[in-house]
Amino acid sequence: MSNPFLIYKADKKIAGEITLAGSKSISNRALIIRALSKDHFQLDRLANAKDTELLIKLLESKDELRDAGPAGTTFRFMTAYLSSKEGAQVLTGTERMKQRPIGVLAEALKKLGAKIEYLGKPGYPPLRIGSPEKFGQEKELSIAANTSSQYISALLMLAPTLPKGLNLHLEGDIVSRSYIEMTLNLMQYFGVRYSWEGNIITIDPQAYKGKNFIVEADWSAASYYYALAAFAGELDLQLNGLFEDSVQGDAALVEIMKHFGVRSTFNENGVHLSKIEGHQLPEVFEWDFILCPDIAQTLAVVCAGLGVRGRFTGLSTLRIKETDRIVALEVELAKVGVKVYEDSTTEGLLIVEGLADLSQKPTFDTYEDHRMAMAFAPFGMLGQIKIKEPMVVVKSYPDFYEDYEKIGFRVER
């Protein structure tokens, strides 16, 4: 176990320039598409995230045992990828990974002809994946639409390589639609045609067309700077690598952060953040995070830091992330006197209530969840805080603390 980091900033001025690393979500999808393609092509500005490095390593591995560690996206994408390949492999991960369900995806792949066996608890990792028999002879496949979008994305990326393609029926209400659209947009960039009518996505058998690709910076990572922007008294910050016309759902930050007085101005290098003059904070901030669940933790911290009541919906996937993020938010924000609770009158409604008191130098736990560490770090602008197991950030943003130091934070390791 590593020692906690003490994080704080002496003033409320945020100025400077940060070049964000490539998006992990885009990088991992592009790597799977390249692995499924007969063409080799260049991928520039790939994420330097541990998850992405793990995926590259697993795709290149010839070992029978492949360990995805704590990387959920990597595990799910590799499950689908290996299901279509000859030979027998075991795919495993950390103890926490063995508690994260994979059954919805595994059972869907089995219907396509995959040979998958659960080596522990049914429906959970680790998996033994054998050579498939008549893989992809069945074109019609149904999957619950309120499950992880990564299951759906894993199936979609495989679809054009199947002998008959795929008609994927999404049953029920679709969550994380933006991540499904991200996958389809990337597939389209690499030459794949598809149709999405109602709840059916149709992809005929076809080949990916290799062409060079530049990975956009990560909007999830940008959220940790937008939080600082909301807390700042003076603001002049440039974030490089972000696109105005983004395929990432977390680009909703541009609209969301107007509520907190942050203006986003796009330029040739990325986006410039400044204050909206004379802006009044809302008494209540309401947002449906169905398209951008990964920034919900950051916005909970923003609401708490400013004393704005938050009403969050669309959080159904937060319980099956690296940790149960709803419980984690309840526990950690309680340390600074902020109440987080689910409203029993409306399904999926989370309330954030109170103004954070950081006078006691709170220590925040991270639960092996990179987003807990990074979402709570902006509190360091309002007081001295400690973050336990701080290096969990390597999962998606290894340079996080160094980049915070560039804009004047003190990080005592």
- What does the pLDDT read at residue 304? 98
Q: Do 304 and 266 form a contact (C-beta atoms < 8 A)?
A: no
- Check: pTM over 0.75? Answer yes or no: yes
- What does the pLDDT read at residue 346? 74
Average pLDDT estimate for 112-136: 96
DSSP secondary structure letters along 39-50:
S---EES----H
Q: Tens digits of per-residue pLDDT, 21-70?
A: 999 999 999 999 999 999 999 999 999 999 999 999 999 999 999 999 98
Average pLDDT estimate for 97-117: 96
Q: How far apart are CA 39 and CA 292, in angstroms?
A: 32
- Which residues neighbour 134 within 8 Å (Cβ) at sequence distance 6 or greater? 113
Positions annotated as catalytic residues are 294
- What does the pLDDT read at residue 302? 98
- Which residues neighbour 57 within 8 Å (Cβ) at sequence distance 6 or greater? none
Amino acid identity of residue 44, one-letter, is D
**Is the per-residue pLDDT at 1 higher than 70?**
no
Distances 358 to 67, 175, 194 between C-alpha atoms, Å: 39, 35, 51
Q: Tens digits of per-residue pLDDT, 281-299?
A: 999 999 999 889 889 999 9
Q: Is the C-alpha dihedral spanning 88, 78, 35, 59 positive or negative?
A: negative
Average pLDDT estimate for 378-395: 96
SS (H, E, C) the chain: CCCCEEEECCCCEEEEEEECCECHHHHHHHHHHHHHCCCCCCEECCCCCHHHHHHHHHHHCCCCEEECCCCHHHHHHHHHHHHCCCCCEEEECCCCHHHCCCHHHHHHHHHCCCEEEECCCCCCCCEEEECCCCCCCCCEEEEECCCCHHHHHHHHHHHHHCCCCEEEEEECCCCCHHHHHHHHHHHHHCCCCCEEECCEEEECCCCCCCCCEECCECHHHHHHHHHHHHHCCEEEEEEECCCCCCCCHHHHHHHHHHHHCEEEEEECCEEEEEECCCCCCCCEEEEEHHHCHHHHHHHHHHHHHHCCEEEEECCCCHHHCCCCHHHHHHHHHHCCCCEEEECCCCCCCEEEECCCCCCCCCEECCCCCHHHHHHHHHHHHCCCEEECCHHHHHHCCCCHHHHHHHCCCEEEC
Q: Do 109 and 134 form a contact (C-beta atoms < 8 A)?
A: no
Q: Which of 152-161, 309-318, 323-332 has the highest mean pLDDT?
A: 152-161
- What does the pLDDT read at residue 2? 74
Distances 291 to 46, 227, 296, 317, 334 between C-alpha atoms, Å: 23, 19, 10, 11, 27
What DSSP character marks residue 119?
Answer: S
The rounded mean pLDDT for the chain is 94
- What does the pLDDT read at residue 282? 97
Residues of the chain with CATH 3.65.10.10: 5-22+216-412, 24-214
Q: Tens digits of per-residue pLDDT, 317-353?
A: 665 555 688 889 999 999 999 999 988 777 678 899 9
Q: Do 115 and 134 form a contact (C-beta atoms < 8 A)?
A: no
Fold of 24-214: UDP-n-acetylglucosamine1-carboxyvinyl-transferase; Chain (3.65.10)
- What does the pLDDT read at residue 316? 72
CATH superfamily, domain at 5-22+216-412: Enolpyruvate transferase domain (3.65.10.10)
Q: Tens digits of per-residue pLDDT, 194-251?
A: 999 999 999 999 999 999 999 999 999 999 999 999 999 999 999 999 999 998 999 9
